[in-house]
Chain A
Amino acid sequence: MNRWYFWVSAVRLAFGQLMANKMRSLLTTLGVVVGVASVTAVIAVLSGLKTKVLAEFETFGASRVFIFPDRPDGVPNNRFGWSDIRLKPHEVEELRDKWPSVKAITPVTDLEATIESETERLDGVSVTGIWPDWHACESRKVIEGRPFNRIDEESVRQVCLVNESAVQELSLVGNPVGQTILINGRRYLIVGIVETIQSRMFGMGGPTAEVFVPFSVADKLQQSRRYFIRVSAMLKSPELAEEAKSEARYLLRRMRGLTAEDPDTFRVEAIDQYIDQFKSLASGITAVAGGVVGISLLVGGIGIRNIMLVSVSERTREIGLRKAVGATPGAIMAQFLLEAVALSFVGGFVGIGIGRLMALGVASIPDAGLEQVYVPFWAVLMSFGFCAVVGIVFGFFPAMKASRLDPIEALRHE
């Protein structure tokens, strides 16, 4: 067959057919439009989210490791009591001295306290006890004054750091460094101000007042002697995450005298785990969206199939004529498959356009933190791929029907 000319004519005919039935074609492809538009929008939002979250993890630092107390699964609840599980200050000190892969480590403990300035009184403010190494573990800048030092820690000095929100909420006038505030009625000297960061994810909730005190001070402020401690540490380099985790497990298990059969009574996590978690969450959402899209593509495909059947019966005489002048069954089949794919592509094209508009709409929602929403190129390719498949799969039956028409019958068709 004179392939090139045949395909050129087939494409021309397919689009001519679409143009001749504009409204019908558009309505037919509605299912495909909806399917492709929704998958495009979902992928756009997820891509934007991923970029943003990964960027946030980056600023968090990819080199961070955390240790939490954790009751192991699969053992009776009374097997390990809280006192067995709880991280204790002396354990953290031993980790600091013996953990080779980390360069900075700090225990972190939170409590709520009442804070007072000359004019304001705030209840339930978050007070966090930290070692001076905290500054190396968290990327939180001290923008005024100085960070904590070892003397603050070792001498249990009544000093604190506050964030900018706390300065505002306490209505401190002038330079807050050097002023004093009351924490649970006792007087502390503000030695520095740390920047306020947005609460971690997606900008939910406004900034809140935070106060930091030396860990030794927090130890005294805690009501209970069995308070919660977690550990935050900074790796010497990001590649050491796995090693650091096994080292920590080894050290802690030995400290706690756990035998080979005993499960871990703590949990060591590196930032990469969170990234993995987010990625699996994102692919979960993608899968669900994929299912929804699958259903609408199915509906769209059935629409295409029906309209192609209508087209075949409307053009029976034309098919008869084409066969009479030498169109093989294969050529007729190819022609109608191409028409179904063209219909589907039109749907895909419109769908991607609408999907992009939807994505732009989402991106422009203020404060949602989704400014980075975009439609990746692979999503466009994938959409067209799906459309081609839908066109071929659902166009197959009508095309088959057309190709098998008896030319004599077809020419006699009224």
Chain B
Amino acid sequence: MIRIRDLHRIYRVGVEEIHALRGVSIDIGRNEMVAIMGASGSGKSTLMNTLGCLDRPTSGTYELDGKEVSKMSSTELAHVRNEMIGFVFQSFELLSRQSALANVELPLVYSRKSLSPKARIAMAEEALGRVGLSDRMDHTPSQLSGGQTQRVAIARALLNSPRILLADEPTGNLDSQTTEDVLRLFRSLHAEGQTIIIVTHENDVASYCQRVIRLRDGQVIADCPAHEDEGVRLAGGAR
């Protein structure tokens, strides 16, 4: 599914060069649930942006579902994001004036597929159903709780049946109860066959995953099943 080889990413800030990724190679298979962990500055955000096709590597290759995406133009990348990737952000990023249904429908605005209005609504309703919000479709984000808001965002990410669901600190803005709800939701989606990558710095969150990839200074320092990961074990072991 994902095949990354010798990925480098160098930012230029003025005359200074920041080497955010220094030769990262990872394979992630279909229906894996992976946590990417690391301290700030470890390169995990850069890795996530690259995996999400929001950023292009300076060198190295990235094959997504058999497609080489590292050299694509920004328009092609936009199509890849639209069709193959679902994002979940720490701060939800819902459009505040729009209903939950309209928010979930948003990716279809930029879809290359032609769909009837009925089909669009059916898709959005189905996605909301999968996250258990069938009864909140007409609510705006301000009328929803934090956990519900994040579930709307997850429904939006699921809408186009993405190859990867990419979540960046999805529980960073949630209390422990709703964190649990959201993680359970991820786990049931995973059980349905969804490939999920979660970027987090919380061992608790990582413990919901099968596999943990740790980064430091732009390099992979550990890549093992969650139950073997020391940090995760200390946090209470893989559940």
Given A317-B93, A324-B52, is A331 in contact with B81 using a C-beta cutoff of 8 Å? no
A361 to B113, CA, bound (A): 54
Is the CB–CB distance between A324 and B81 below 8 Å? yes
A249 at the interface (CB under 8 A from B): no
B66-91 to A contact mask, C-beta < 8 Å, 1/0: 00000000110011011100010100
A327 to B74, CA, bound (A): 10
B152 at the interface (CB under 8 A from A): no
B156 at the interface (CB under 8 A from A): yes
A260 at the interface (CB under 8 A from B): no
- The number of residues on chain B lying at the interface, defined by a beta carbon within 8 Å of a beta carbon of chain A, is 29
- Classify the secondary structure of A's interface with B: helix
Given the complex, which residues of B lie within 8 Å of A238, measured CB to CB?
A: none
Is the CB–CB distance between B93 and A408 below 8 Å? no
Is the CB–CB distance between A318 and B95 below 8 Å? yes
B113-154 to A contact mask, C-beta < 8 Å, 1/0: 111010010000000000000000000000000000000000
Closest to B160 in A: A326
Given the complex, which residues of A lie within 8 Å of B111, measured CB to CB?
A: 1-2, 5, 326
Candidates B55, B81, B113, B120; contact of A325 at CB < 8 Å: B81
Given A2-B108, A5-B120, A20-B97, is A325 in contact with B87 using a C-beta cutoff of 8 Å? yes
Is the CB–CB distance between A411 and B97 below 8 Å? no
CB-contacts of B48-78 with A (<8 A):
49, 52, 54-55, 74-75, 78
Closest to A330 in B: B75
- The number of residues on chain A lying at the interface, defined by a beta carbon within 8 Å of a beta carbon of chain B, is 25
Given the complex, which residues of B lie within 8 Å of A411, measured CB to CB?
A: 89, 93
A9 to B102, CA, bound (A): 10
A321 at the interface (CB under 8 A from B): yes
B12 at the interface (CB under 8 A from A): no
Given the complex, which residues of B lie within 8 Å of A408, measured CB to CB?
A: 49, 54-55
Candidates A9, A322, A329; contact of B75 at CB < 8 Å: A329
A319-347 to B contact mask, C-beta < 8 Å, 1/0: 01111111111110000000000000000
Candidates B74, B95, B112, B117; contact of A1 at CB < 8 Å: B112
B107 at the interface (CB under 8 A from A): yes
A294 to B82, CA, bound (A): 42
CB-contacts of A1-19 with B (<8 A):
1-2, 4-6, 9, 16
Write the nearest CB–CB distance from B55 to chain A, whole angstroms.
6
A322 to B93, CA, bound (A): 10
Write the nearest CB–CB distance from B157 to chain A, whole angstroms.
8
Given A317-B93, A329-B78, is A322 in contact with B55 using a C-beta cutoff of 8 Å? no
Candidates B74, B108, B120; contact of A329 at CB < 8 Å: B74
Interface centre among A16, A317, A324 (most CB of B within 10 A): A324
A236 to B52, CA, bound (A): 86
A72 at the interface (CB under 8 A from B): no
Given the complex, which residues of A lie within 8 Å of B114, measured CB to CB?
A: 2, 4
Write the nearest CB–CB distance from A338 to chain B, whole angstroms.
13
A6-37 to B contact mask, C-beta < 8 Å, 1/0: 10010000001000100000000000000000
Write the nearest CB–CB distance from B107 to chain A, whole angstroms.
4
Write the nearest CB–CB distance from A316 to chain B, whole angstroms.
12
Given A317-B93, A407-B54, A408-B55, is A5 in contact with B108 using a C-beta cutoff of 8 Å? yes
A330 to B106, CA, bound (A): 16
Is the CB–CB distance between B54 and A327 below 8 Å? no
Is the CB–CB distance between B108 and A16 below 8 Å? no
Interface centre among A322, A328, A329 (most CB of B within 10 A): A328
Given the complex, which residues of A lie within 8 Å of B97, measured CB to CB?
A: 16, 20
Closest to B86 in A: A325
Write the nearest CB–CB distance from B13 to chain A, whole angstroms.
13
A318 to B109, CA, bound (A): 14
Is the CB–CB distance between A321 and B78 below 8 Å? no
Contacts A5-B117, A328-B79, A328-B110 known; list 10 others, CB within 8 Å: A2-B109, A2-B114, A5-B111, A6-B109, A324-B52, A325-B81, A326-B110, A327-B78, A327-B110, A411-B89
Query: Nearest 3 CB-CB pairs, A to B?
Result: A326-B82, A328-B78, A326-B110
